[in-house]
Amino acid sequence: MTPRPTDPAPYLTDMPGTQPAGEAFWLRTADGLRIRVAVWRPAQPRGTVLLLPGRTEYIEKYAATADGFRERGLATLVIDWRGQGLSERLLPERRLGHVERFADYQHDLAAALLFAHEQHLPLPWHLLAHSMGGAIGLRALMDGLAVQSCAFTGPMWGIAMPAMLHAFACALTRAASLAGLDHRRAPGTALPPYVERHAFADNTLTSDPEIYAMLRAHVAAHPELGIGGPSLRWLREALCECRGLRARPSPRIPCRVFCGEEERIIDRAAVTERMRRWPGGALEVMAGGRHELLVERPQIRAPLLDRLSALFSGAPDP
């Protein structure tokens, strides 16, 4: 395949924890949006990790993870989803997380996969998806994404909320859509990014105070990276996607899922149910971990990278 020309994109190096820098590029999706991807390449790669971040996240947040894979001989490709990071926003209010259809994220992934082919990123490829990226990645696997193995951290296969609130959210978002109000912010959420609004003591993301301070420094240095609560449209689309995924069988591919013991964002029951019916799949609960295991304390993050590297190399799980 002859590579197409790609436009260099900025990679923000003036923030703590963003080294080593990835090579960043602009891509154009099939529906015309500009998104950003970045690649880290080891000297002698033995495969590539396709890393799909969660809602509100951005490429630079995963520099340490990519470096951990580089040390283990794996290239890494990370994507900024539409509406977040430095990719094109969908609404005039940049801080509002939004998507018109959840399936639109598949356009972003398709553009990234085409880029990976054109850049000859080394085979075999492996999928690593976090939170919202877990829903996007699972849909892609079900639709035939060709990877050798897959792993998920805190996958959004359900959203943590009481049953009555879930029913209310479904009814509210449906009514908002009918009334043409689904570009409004979901009730109970705010526009400033989560790390700006919550002190470390009550945060649901990480148990590492230094990492949390780093995340706060990122959005302070580059407010353009930050987004806050989702739109009613995003919430409706996410709930529908989780329901649609639940009805489909698990793909037959080696899989490991990791959830934090103190997970409070995604529905762990939905994850447990999915893994009960995943041939060759396994679920591990990480003691003391919160939602974002890839930016957790070294005692959690290092063993997790070892387990992921073992999966991606076909070695026995340590």
Percent pLDDT > 70 in the chain is 97
Give the DSSP letter of residue 190. Answer: -
β-strand pairing of 34-40 with 255-260: unpaired
The 3-state DSSP composition of the chain as helix, strand, coil percent (nearest 5) reads: 40, 15, 45
Residue 282: CB atoms within 10 Å: 14
How many beta carbons lie within 10 A of that of residue 201, not counting itself? 7
Question: What is the structure's pLDDT at 3?
Answer: 42
pLDDT for the residue numbered 165:
79
Give the residue carrying structure tokens 């899989």: 255
DSSP string, 131-174: THHHHHHHHHHHTT---SEEEEES--SSB---HHHHHHHHHHHH
3-state secondary structure labels for all residues of 243-278: HHHHCCCCCCCCEEEEEECCCCCECHHHHHHHHHCC
Task: Give yes or no for residue 156 having a pLDDT over 60.
Answer: yes
| 35-42 average pLDDT score | 98
138 against 3, higher pLDDT: 138
Mapped onto helix, strand or coil, the DSSP state of residue 188 is coil
Please tell me the pTM assigned to this model: 0.96
Mean pLDDT confidence for 125-131: 98
Is 285:179 a contact under the CB 8 Å cutoff?
A: no
In this prediction, residue 317 carries a pLDDT of 65
List pLDDT tens digits, range 91-124: 999 999 999 999 999 999 999 999 999 999 999 9
Distance from C-alpha of 251 to C-alpha of 232, rounded to nearest angstrom: 30
Cα gap 244→143, rounded to integer Å: 13
Quote the strand ranges of the chain, DSSP E: 7-8, 23-28, 34-40, 48-52, 75-80, 125-130, 149-153, 255-260, 281-286
Q: What would the two tokens of residue 47 be? A: 């495969």
Q: Is the pLDDT of residue 50 over 90?
A: yes
Angstrom CA distances, 220 to 54, 204, 279, 296, stand at 20, 19, 44, 21
CA distances (Å), 87 to each of 29, 59, 108, 303, in order? 11, 10, 10, 32
Which residues does 201 contact at the CB level (< 8 Å), separation at least 6?
none
Residue 1 reports pLDDT greater than 60: no
Report the amino acid identity of residue 206. T
Mean pLDDT score across all residues of the chain? 95
Domains and CATH numbers, the chain: 7-313 (3.40.50.1820)
pLDDT at residue 4 tops 60: no
pLDDT of residue 314: 80
d(CA 73, CA 207): 28
For residue 2, the model assigns a pLDDT of: 40
